[in-house]
Amino acid sequence: MAEDAPWYEAAQVVGVTNALNVVADALDGATAGLLSPLDETAAHDGAQTLFAEIRGFYARADVPVPFRVMARDLAYAADVWRAVVRAFSDNRLPRRLKEALAFAVSLTTRSRFGTGFHLGEMRRLGVGERGCLEVFGVAQMFSSYTKIADTLQLDPDMGDIAPVDRSPAPGGRAVARGAVVKAASRARSDRRSARPAKSRD
């Protein structure tokens, strides 16, 4: 699975990005007085330690809103923060590329927080205006083509470009070839049967 490691890395970035965006966008002014972000200056010592790590990682003076909301449960916030650091730190994929991916994810999911935050991170990490617009254009076109394909209920036609990799995901069990083929065939059949009948008029 070593050759697939970058894809797992990218998938983790997508998942973590959505997790943070959900918190920030859902609680943006909608829960004032009910579940407000912690005041950075008045937070308890444990939260202050976490906040210092976050400021250092992002090289900024303030703590992003999602972390200040989650810090009301410090253990929960610390777990999420470890996942963020693992997802966005330089590894097989560099951090700048990960921030570009997070920006594209935020843009296509219409996250106000994520779009602005990750655009800011891209610029901080050295991505110029043309680079940002390039990511913007790719995300825009990808979103457009995906909507067209979904509307027309098209099946993907790229399945035979690369050989099927039957090795398991990290920690997973190997699956027999016959089971993989049957599952794929069943999925295609289910998609076709779920389509509405086309009018002949």
DSSP code per residue over 89-133: SSSSS-HHHHHHHHHHHHHHTT-HHHHHHHHHHHHHTT--HHHHH
What is the pLDDT, as a whole number, of residue 143?
Answer: 83
| Spatial distance between the Cα atoms of 147 and 131, rounded to a whole number of angstroms | 25
- What's at 110, amino acid-wise? R
Please report, for residues 17, 34, 66, 81, 116, the alpha-carbon distance to residue 156 in angstroms, rounded to integers and kept in the order given.
26, 45, 36, 36, 32
Q: What is the pTM of this model?
A: 0.74
Other beta carbons within 10 angstroms of residue 51's beta carbon come to: 21
What region does 175 belong to: left with phi over 0, alpha with psi -120 to 50, or beta?
beta
What is the pLDDT, as a whole number, of residue 24?
Answer: 87
What is the pLDDT, as a whole number, of residue 190?
Answer: 66
What is the pLDDT, as a whole number, of residue 187?
Answer: 63
DSSP string, 33-90: TTSPPPPTTT--HHHHHHHHHHHHHHT-SS--HHHHHHTTSHHHHHHHHHHHHHHHSS
- CATH superfamily of domain region 2-152: AhpD-like (1.20.1290.10)
What is the pLDDT, as a whole number, of residue 65?
Answer: 87
| Spatial distance between the Cα atoms of 41 and 112, rounded to a whole number of angstroms | 26
Other beta carbons within 10 angstroms of residue 93's beta carbon come to: 20
What is the pLDDT, as a whole number, of residue 128?
Answer: 94
Residues 6+ apart with CB under 8 A from 135: 100, 103, 104, 122, 127
3-class DSSP state for residue 180?
A: helix
Q: Which residues of the chain have pLDDT under 50?
A: none
